[in-house]
């Protein structure tokens, strides 16, 4: 009889402790989520130092893959590459333990031209509301998926077959959103153009911003300067919107593997100091070009076997 009472009491204590632990974990996660929201807002506003501090506090309370990943991006923006790499590895460790499957947010219905399909998606842009905009290469269109709408996308530019008409695209490789003008800026390599399409409903054609450029990748800095990689000239230029010649910011010294050269530059990233990061495809490396520099700095790859044709 005594042993039965003791056993019942032990089971109740264990259950009580388990429930208390679950409650504590739940409270911890709620607190971490609140701090994460503050950190996300700081990151959105460009205050990467505050974002880093807040992500760190949230990690102390309830660490998870998303927090480590977000802090990694904050470190990247501050150019603390070592810490960014450490956090990226930690995020992967959490992913491998707890996140078994990714979530399809666009396409996933085989190769094709329907609005629930993609055909060689290349560049993409994620807006603040998590709308995903994709350069759908072989479909000659730009298509977007709004957050939570995973069945069908919406064609927002092109989609009228390949061609050189202002209502058409040909092999688009990258896209970004110019929020001030509420428009898409698109590189479509087949017509050697950079074009703008309004985001307003009813838009049926774009306007040419730049032509005669073998464009591939696009980026825009906080001052709304447009950066374009040119795989024909093996260079990157910065343009004030409306001008045609631009300013050389990377490469431009012929095709090659010297630090002053590029070989097939693809996608770009520009930080707050207007330093330009270039995925230098045929040199198997990523280079950083400080503002005004005549040579780049290899920040990733550059050695045999490290990268295979980096794109983005």
pLDDT at 22: 44
Query: CA-CA distance, 271 to 176, in Å (whole number)?
Result: 16
pLDDT at 170: 94
pLDDT tens digit string along 210-253? Answer: 999 999 999 999 999 999 999 999 999 999 988 889 999 999 99
* The 3-state secondary structure of 219-248, one letter per residue: EECCCCEEEEEECCCCEEEEEECCCCCCEE
Query: CA-CA distance, 228 to 241, in Å (whole number)?
Result: 12
Q: What is the DSSP letter of 255?
A: B
Nearest-CA neighbor of 266 among 274, 257, 278?
278
Strand order in the sheet with 121-126: 121-126, 132-136, 141-145, 154-158
Q: Residue 123 forms beta bridges with which residues?
A: none
Nearest-CA neighbor of 117 among 170, 147, 159?
159
Query: CA-CA distance, 56 to 67, in Å (whole number)?
Result: 8
**By the 8 A CB rule, do 185 and 194 touch?**
yes
Could you tell me the two tokens for 276?
């330009």
- 134, 135, 196, 239 from 182: Cα distances, Å: 17, 18, 10, 18
pLDDT at 201: 85
Per-residue pLDDT of the chain (312 residues; tens, 9 = 90+): 445 555 665 555 455 544 544 445 456 788 888 999 999 999 888 899 999 999 999 999 888 888 888 898 898 888 887 888 888 888 877 755 555 667 888 888 889 999 999 999 999 998 888 899 999 999 999 999 988 877 899 999 999 999 999 999 999 999 999 999 999 999 988 999 999 999 988 888 999 999 999 999 999 999 999 999 999 999 999 999 888 899 999 999 999 999 999 998 999 999 888 999 999 888 888 899 999 999 998 887 765 444 445 555
Query: Where do the domains of the chain lie, and which CATH numbers do they carry?
Result: 2-98 (1.25.40.10), 121-301 (2.120.10.30)
Query: CA-CA distance, 229 to 202, in Å (whole number)?
Result: 30
**By the 8 A CB rule, do 122 and 172 touch?**
yes
Nearest-CA neighbor of 276 among 302, 300, 296, 261?
296
**Residue 45 main-chain phi, psi, to 5 deg:** -85, 5
pTM of the model: 0.68
Collapse the DSSP code of 191 into the 3-class scheme (helix H, G, I; strand E, B; otherwise coil) and give the result.
helix
Strand order in the sheet with 193-198: 172-178, 183-188, 193-198, 207-211
**By the 8 A CB rule, do 259 and 298 touch?**
yes
- Residue corresponding to tokens 């019942």: 8
Query: CA-CA distance, 140 to 119, in Å (whole number)?
Result: 9
pLDDT at 294: 93
The secondary element (H helix, E strand) that includes residue 218 is strand 215-220
pLDDT at 100: 60
């Amino acid at each position: 009889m005594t042993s039965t009472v003791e056993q019942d009491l032990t089971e109740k204590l264990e259950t009580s402790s388990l429930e208390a632990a679950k409650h504590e974990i739940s409270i911890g996660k709620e607190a971490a989520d609140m701090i994460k929201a503050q950190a996300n807002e700081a990151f959105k506003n460009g205050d990467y130092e505050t974002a880093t501090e807040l992500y760190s506090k949230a990690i102390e309370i309830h660490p998870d893959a998303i927090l480590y990943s977000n802090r990694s991006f904050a470190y990247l923006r501050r150019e603390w590459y070592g810490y960014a790499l450490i956090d990226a590895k930690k995020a992967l460790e959490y992913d491998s333990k707890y996140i078994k499957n990714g979530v399809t947010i666009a396409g996933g219905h085989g190769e094709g031209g329907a609005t629930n399909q993609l055909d060689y998606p290349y560049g993409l842009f994620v807006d603040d509301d998590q709308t995903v905009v994709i350069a759908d290469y072989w479909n000659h269109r730009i298509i977007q998926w709004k957050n939570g709408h995973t069945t069908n996308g919406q064609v927002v530019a092109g989609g009228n077959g390949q061609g050189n008409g202002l209502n058409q695209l040909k092999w688009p490789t990258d896209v970004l959103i110019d929020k001030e003008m509420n428009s898409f800026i698109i590189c479509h390599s087949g017509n050697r153009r950079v074009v703008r399409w309004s985001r307003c409903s009813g838009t049926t054609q774009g306007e040419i911003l730049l032509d005669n450029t073998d464009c591939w990748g696009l980026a825009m800095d906080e001052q709304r300067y447009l950066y374009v990689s040119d795989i024909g000239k093996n260079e990157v230029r910065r343009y004030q919107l409306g001008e045609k010649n631009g300013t050389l910011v990377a490469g431009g010294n012929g095709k090659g593997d010297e630090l002053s050269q590029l070989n097939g530059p693809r996608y770009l990233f520009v930080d707050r100091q207007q330093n330009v990061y270039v995925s230098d495809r045929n040199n198997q490396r990523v280079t950083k070009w400080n503002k005004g520099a005549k040579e780049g700095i290899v920040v990733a790859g550059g050695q045999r076997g490290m990268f295979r044709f980096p794109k983005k």
